[in-house]
Amino acid sequence: MTVEFDPMTLAIFMPLLGAIAAFLLPRVAAFIGLVTLVLTAAVVVLLAREVLSEGAIILPLGGWGAPLGIDLRADGLSVAMLALTCIVGFLVSLAALDSLKGDAQARQRQYFWPLWLLLLTGMNGVYLSTDIFNLYVMIEIIALAAVGLTVLSGSKAALRAGLEYMYASILGALLFLMGVGFIYLQLGRLDFAGLINADSSLALSAALALMIIGMFLKTALFPLHFWLPAAHANATAPASALLSGLVVKAALYIFLRLTTYMPLPDEILVTLIGILGAGAVVWGGIQALRAERLKMLVAWSTVVQIGLIFVAFARAGQVGLAESWKAAALLILAHGVAKAAMFLSAGRIKDEIGHDLIRDLDRSSVRPTLAQFTFALAAISLIGLPPSLGFIGKWSLMEGAMAAGYWHWIAVTMAGTLMSIAYFSRVFAGFLRFDRVRTPVTEHQGWAYADAAPLTLAAGAIALGFFAAPILSFIEIGYPFGVAP
Amino acid sequence: MLELVAASLIGLGAVFFIAGTVGLLRFPDIFCRLHALTKADGLGLALVALGVALLSGSMGDAFRIGLIWFFVAVASATCSHLIARYARASGEAVSDD
Amino acid sequence: MTDPLVIFDLLLAASVVALAVAVLGVRDLFAAIVLFVIFGLLSALSWVRLSAPDVALAEAAIGTGVTGALLLKTLHHLRFVSGTLDQQAALSVTPLLPVPGAVIWANAAFCGLITLGLAAAFLGAPQAGPGFDPLVADAMPQSGVEHPVTGVLLNFRAYDTLMEVVVLLAAVIAVWQIERGMSDAPAPVMGEVWQGFARLALPAIVVVGTYLLWVGAEAPGGAFQGGAVLAAVGLLLLLTRAYVPRPAHRGIARGAFVLGTGAFAAVALLVAGGGRVAFEYPPEHAKSLILLIEGLVTISIAITLAALFHGREPVALSTQGGRNDT
Amino acid sequence: MTPDLIYGFTGVAVFAIGLVGALCAQDRLRRVLALKLCSVGAGFMLVVGAWREPPAAPDPVPHALVITGIVVMVSATAVALALIRRLQSLEAEDDR
């Protein structure tokens, strides 16, 4: 009997089996983790090839088929998200190898790998799932693993932030579950295909509202962002990178999918979402300007970027929604790569200097040049300077808004850009050490994985801008945005 | 006839439960309350279980109901003991009136 | 002529809601937990009324029993570290920042609006509307089991169930990760009556748990309910100190945690082939495969739940209480 | 008045009460209780949706989903409680 392994199943099972192995054999957990990530990446490449040649593919698990069973479905968008997760995840893992190598981190190392691989299982599961209850289970896996990673350092600040994060995560998931209940009440089925053809009704609107609020909470859209800055800023560097770069994207992805399958009933609602996004851009910008610690600033910038993605989503209003989804998808990818790079380099800077107070950045005797360079590169993409992927995302956002005559969204985007230049400049000013040099400079010693990985990511965030067109056309495979040509 | 006997047994059991509940609410201190609870509920549950066993009409079900009664009785006695023990250890006052 | 059961339903529903309010309203935390346990048991009773005995069993055993034990253990620990273990009623032992009154009222108003909206939406939804029933009825003969809920859990939606076991695994890893270097609250001394009860109850619980697992194929019960009941054995053993986790047992514990997940995942993957996909059990082996998975998963669930109750990973005595084992 | 109607409103009420608690509770443990109430409320909705007029058997799928939900919730509760215990230990250490 030959056993055939399907890439979609493997994309979920590979990290799961890796997590089990890493938990059983803590001594070689790092090795197992890296091997698992390489294998998962290979599986994703196989899947991408299949999707490229055949379009969207569906796998009925257990052979039952939706709605009774659960289908896995891969299209351009989900494979793009899988690829983002795997690539960013692999590079962050390389950095983690280095930053968790000390004896003091033996315990962190032992638990980092199984938790991270479970997190990967959950995220891959979300990107391939077509069943809303299955999504609920997956976001709970993500939540537990992510909270475990948040409190890896065991500091009191991290534990406090982790507890807040836990409350927000559970509440978000439970709102989602209540929405699942209402969808079942109305439709009697829980698969995406059943949602598309449903007539709108009060119960469905209630379900959609509950689920969307739950996802807002988990993705930290203003004003439900209260848990994010502390959680992301107080985690250890690799965990921050994973949380900010990847984990919030899972909830965003679910939001994108939901709004594709259950069209938002009203333009007012879309505008409201845009207003919340604009609020995030402004409030997050102000807080980033006031932040005292580097990692806090980076965490607030995540709030801003999430807001921007929602602005991108909202800007097209009723007409041409598909376009705005593309801008949002591009911004998600760009932010995932750049933010992971930025958190890793911020962690490096903190490790080298010994603190991450912005106002004292230029007083240290150590100069972590590479990390600072990486931080600046990542900032280029986050600010949205050409030719980075962030620029393409913002550009397609503004282009669409101009075409549709939504000038207010352009104003919000521009304001966000200006503010991000302002708050990142605070950091650059610290890097440049203009006149406050008090001590002789010690250059950073040599290369390390912990520098190479974020540098690769940051360079990638910029270089990907050149490949925006093929990325966009790949994302469109299988019509993830519900629009056939 | 059987039904009548069963119903009156269950009714009597319910009276004991109500008495136990009233005692739980009205008695002054934790030991009196436990007394009301264990005495009334032990007998009340036994009566209800007997009534239901009569109604069930099959030996197997009656046996299972008997088992349930037995384990509930043992568990509730142990729990009451633990509560009383804890209350005494932590210096819970015995009320005078 | 109203059905007398409707009155019972109304009373039960009113008690459930009143208890929910009381859980949040009562000042003493211990009382809140006890009320929560009663709330859980009455919810389980409501679900029996809605002809969902499996769910009621699971809620009573896991949602109320195990959760209640976890909550009480946590309260005990909190009172220990805050030095209020000897006081009669520790009120709020874990204060958060005080929430301004205006915020509370705004939240309450917001929740009131949500309630009205949900109630309206519930009324608007078709009552006893469409469902999976016909699909399940069609597929049951090929499922390998007779009890529909077990069929759904371990065959039609086995993927969800696997992921649910993964959630348990993630929880126990996270708990081991989180709890470290904490001094243990002294276990209460329970006395001889308790020891005698444990001797009597232990074998009975083992029998009940195994029975629940075994009967799951054709009647209410199954891996989760059975596992939760068996976890009670673990709780009893831990509470009576008949079993004290030792550092040397860590490897075995790790193995036990992943046993169910690993076996489930392996079976799910290995049945693929010959035109079948993952989780598609060959019909002739479906029953034995499901029983195998259920048995192993039950062991994992029981040990995982007991470990979640125990909390931290067993550590060597020398590092116990030390802060430097980060 | 059928059970599904009665318990449906119960579910909505319990969920809303839990929501109020989750947003307003000033105590870490109480918030966990509130979240647990929310999950029971959501469980009520699914069980109610599965209910059919007595001679007919209820829909088993939502029952399986609620069982899954219960197990997931106990896992989440265990992690939240572990966080609370450790945090409280650390805070108590600092006070001394």
Query: Which tens digit of pLDDT belongs to each residue from A454-476?
Result: 999 999 999 998 988 888 888 88
Each residue's pLDDT tens digit, C108-135: 888 888 888 888 888 887 776 678 888 8
* Confidence check: pLDDT of C326 > 50: no
D45:A148 CB<8 A: no
β-bridge pairing A70-74 and A366-367? unpaired
Q: How far is B29 from chain C (nearest CA, A)?
A: 13
Q: How far is CA A344 from CA A233, A239, A383, A443, C320, in A?
A: 11, 9, 18, 19, 33
Kindly list the residues of chain A whose beta carbon comes within 8 Å of any beta carbon in chain D.
68, 133, 136-137, 140, 143-144, 147-148, 151, 154, 156, 159-160, 162-163, 166-167, 169-171, 173-174, 177-178, 180-182, 184-185, 188
Chains B and C touch (3+ CB pairs under 8 A): yes
C71:D32 CB<8 A: yes
CB–CB of A219/A118 below 8 Å?
no
Give the nearest partner residue to A68 out of C139, C160, C164, using CB atoms: C139
* Confidence check: pLDDT of C27 > 90: no
Cβ contacts (< 8 Å) between D42 and chain A: which residues?
A: 174, 177-178, 180-181
Rounded CA-CA distance D10/D43 in Å is 11
Each residue's pLDDT tens digit, A371-429: 888 999 999 999 988 888 889 888 888 887 787 777 888 888 899 999 999 999 999 88
Structural domain boundaries enclosing B13: 2-89
Determine the average pLDDT of the residues in A20-33.
92
Closest residue by Cα to residue D26 from A476, C258, C25, A62: C25
Q: How far is B78 from chain C (nearest CA, A)?
A: 6
Q: Does C191 touch chain B (CB under 8 A)?
A: yes
Q: Does A89 touch chain C (CB under 8 A)?
A: no
**How confident is the model at residue A23, as a pLDDT?**
94
Closest residue by Cα to residue C168 from C229, C233, C208, C224: C224
Rounded CA-CA distance A132/A128 in Å is 11
Phi-psi region at B24: left, alpha or beta (left = phi > 0; alpha = psi -120 to 50)? alpha
Q: Does C109 touch chain B (CB under 8 A)?
A: no
Domain-embedded: residue B48: yes
Query: For residue C67, what is the nearest residue in chain D, using CA coordinates?
Result: D74
* Confidence check: pLDDT of C320 > 50: no
Q: Does B75 touch chain C (CB under 8 A)?
A: yes
Cβ contacts (< 8 Å) between C173 and chain A: which residues?
A: 23, 111, 114-115, 118, 148
Give the nearest partner residue to A181 out of D42, D76, D83, using CB atoms: D42
**How confident is the model at residue C99, as a pLDDT?**
67
Q: Does A4 touch chain C (CB under 8 A)?
A: yes
* Confidence check: pLDDT of A303 > 80: yes
**How confident is the model at residue B79, as a pLDDT?**
86
Rounded CA-CA distance A451/A97 in Å is 11
**How confident is the model at residue A219, as a pLDDT?**
92
Number of A to C CB contacts under 8 A, please give it: 174
Closest residue by Cα to residue D73 from B96, A136, B45, C159: A136
* Confidence check: pLDDT of A440 > 70: no
CB–CB of A213/A175 below 8 Å?
yes
**How confident is the model at residue B87, as a pLDDT?**
81
Closest residue by Cα to residue B73 from B33, B37, B23: B37
Determine the average pLDDT of the residues in C137-145.
86
Percent of chain A with pLDDT over 90: 52
Q: Does B7 touch chain C (CB under 8 A)?
A: no
| CA-CA-CA-CA torsion sign (C213, C217, C220, C225) | positive
Determine the average pLDDT of the residues in A307-321.
71
C104:D24 CB<8 A: yes
The one-letter code for the residue type at A163 is: L
* Confidence check: pLDDT of D72 > 90: yes
Q: Is A129 helix (H, G, I), strand (E, B) or coil?
A: strand
Per-residue confidence band for A176, with pLDDT thresholds at 50, 70 and 90: very high
Task: Provide ipTM, 2 decimals.
Answer: 0.92
Q: Where are the domains of chain A?
A: 268-485
* Confidence check: pLDDT of D85 > 50: yes
* Confidence check: pLDDT of C90 > 50: no
A147:D79 CB<8 A: yes
Cβ contacts (< 8 Å) between B78 and chain C: which residues?
A: 193-194, 197
Average pLDDT, chain C: 85
**D3-95 maps to which CATH number?**
1.10.287.3510
Rounded CA-CA distance C293/A82 in Å is 29
Count other Cβ atoms within 10 Å, centred on residue A52: 12
Q: Does C95 touch chain B (CB under 8 A)?
A: no
Name the β-bridge partners of A72.
A59, A129
Within the 26-45 window of chain B, which residues sit less than 8 Å (CB to CB) from chain C?
none
Q: Is A57 helix (H, G, I), strand (E, B) or coil?
A: strand
Give the nearest partner residue to D76 out of A170, A181, A185, using CB atoms: A170
Among C167, C261, C312, C319, pick the best mutation site for testing chain A contact (most A Cβ within 10 A). Answer: C167
Distance between start and end Cα atoms, chain A: 43
Rounded CA-CA distance A51/A479 in Å is 12
Average pLDDT, chain A: 87
Pick from A239-243, A442-446, C125-129, C250-254: least confident? A442-446
* Confidence check: pLDDT of A154 > 90: no
D38:A178 CB<8 A: yes
* Confidence check: pLDDT of A125 > 60: yes
Pick from A143-152, A310-319, A418-427: least confident? A310-319
**How confident is the model at residue D74, as a pLDDT?**
96
A159:D94 CB<8 A: no
* Confidence check: pLDDT of B94 > 70: no
Determine the average pLDDT of the residues in B17-33.
84
* Confidence check: pLDDT of C323 > 50: no
CB–CB of A280/A222 below 8 Å?
yes
**How confident is the model at residue C89, as a pLDDT?**
47
C58:D40 CB<8 A: no
* Confidence check: pLDDT of B80 > 90: no
Per-residue confidence band for C80, with pLDDT thresholds at 50, 70 and 90: confident
D37:C305 CB<8 A: no
**How confident is the model at residue D80, as a pLDDT?**
96
Q: How far is C180 from chain B (nearest CA, A)?
A: 29
Higher pLDDT, A188 or A314: A188
The one-letter code for the residue type at C99 is: V
CB–CB of A374/A458 below 8 Å?
yes
Cβ contacts (< 8 Å) between C131 and chain A: which residues?
A: 184, 188
Rounded CA-CA distance B89/B82 in Å is 10
Q: How far is A282 from chain C (nearest CA, A)?
A: 23
Q: What angle do CA D69, A215, A382 make, to 5 degrees?
A: 140
Element (H, E) at A324: helix A321-353
Structure tokens at C202: 């232990």
**How confident is the model at residue C10, as a pLDDT?**
94
The one-letter code for the residue type at B64 is: R
Per-residue confidence band for C1, with pLDDT thresholds at 50, 70 and 90: very low
B71:C201 CB<8 A: yes
Q: Is A71 helix (H, G, I), strand (E, B) or coil?
A: strand
Count other Cβ atoms within 10 Å, centred on residue B88: 12
C100 class by beta-carbon count within 10 Å (0-12 exposed, 13-18 middle, 19+ buried) = exposed
**How confident is the model at residue A334, as a pLDDT?**
92
Within the 11-50 window of chain D, which residues sit less than 8 Å (CB to CB) from chain C?
12-21, 23-34, 36-37, 39-40, 43-45, 47-50
Structure tokens at A70: 């659960």
Per-residue confidence band for A265, with pLDDT thresholds at 50, 70 and 90: low
Rounded CA-CA distance C180/C255 in Å is 20
Query: For residue A64, what is the nearest residue in chain C, using CA coordinates?
Result: C156
H helices within chain C, ranges in order? 4-25, 29-49, 53-58, 67-81, 101-124, 133-143, 148-151, 158-178, 192-215, 223-239, 250-270, 286-310
Within the 273-302 window of chain A, which residues sit less than 8 Å (CB to CB) from chain C?
none
**How confident is the model at residue C126, as a pLDDT?**
79
CB–CB of D35/C38 below 8 Å?
no
Structurally, chain B folds into a number of domains equal to: 1
CB–CB of A300/A291 below 8 Å?
yes
Domain-embedded: residue B95: no
* Confidence check: pLDDT of B57 > 80: no
Structure tokens at D70: 């219960």
Q: Does A62 touch chain C (CB under 8 A)?
A: yes
Give, to the nearest 10 degrees, the angle between helix A321-353 and helix A294-314.
Answer: 180
Per-residue confidence band for A442, with pLDDT thresholds at 50, 70 and 90: low
CB–CB of C29/D34 below 8 Å?
no
C130:A188 CB<8 A: yes
Q: Does B8 touch chain C (CB under 8 A)?
A: no
CB–CB of A279/A222 below 8 Å?
yes
Rounded CA-CA distance C157/D65 in Å is 9
**How confident is the model at residue A434, as a pLDDT?**
55
**How confident is the model at residue A126, as a pLDDT?**
96
**How confident is the model at residue A296, as a pLDDT?**
94
D84:A163 CB<8 A: yes
Determine the average pLDDT of the residues in C221-250.
87
Rounded CA-CA distance C21/C24 in Å is 5
Each residue's pLDDT tens digit, C160-174: 999 999 999 999 999
**How confident is the model at residue A368, as a pLDDT?**
79
* Confidence check: pLDDT of A113 > 90: yes
Rounded CA-CA distance C192/C183 in Å is 27
Name the β-bridge partners of D27.
C95
> Rg of chain C over CA atoms, in angstroms?
23
The one-letter code for the residue type at C38 is: I
Determine the average pLDDT of the residues in A269-288.
90
Rounded CA-CA distance A84/A339 in Å is 12
Cβ contacts (< 8 Å) between C191 and chain B: which residues?
A: 81-82, 85
D27 phi/psi in degrees, rounded to 5: -135, 135
**How confident is the model at residue A441, as a pLDDT?**
58
Q: How far is D85 from chain C (nearest CA, A)?
A: 6
Each residue's pLDDT tens digit, D27-70: 889 999 999 999 999 999 999 999 888 778 889 999 999 999 99
- As a three-state string, the secondary structure of chain B is CHHHHHHHHHHHHHHHHHHHHHHHHHCCCHHHHHHHHHHHHHHHHHHHHHHHHHHHCCHHHHHHHHHHHHHHHHHHHHHHHHHHHHHHHCCCCCCCC
Q: How far is A264 from chain D (nearest CA, A)?
A: 23
Q: How far is CA A40 from the centre of its chain?
A: 18
Determine the average pLDDT of the residues in C271-289.
85
Rounded CA-CA distance B16/B5 in Å is 17
Q: Where are the domains of chain D?
A: 3-95
Give the nearest partner residue to A151 out of D49, D83, D91, using CB atoms: D83
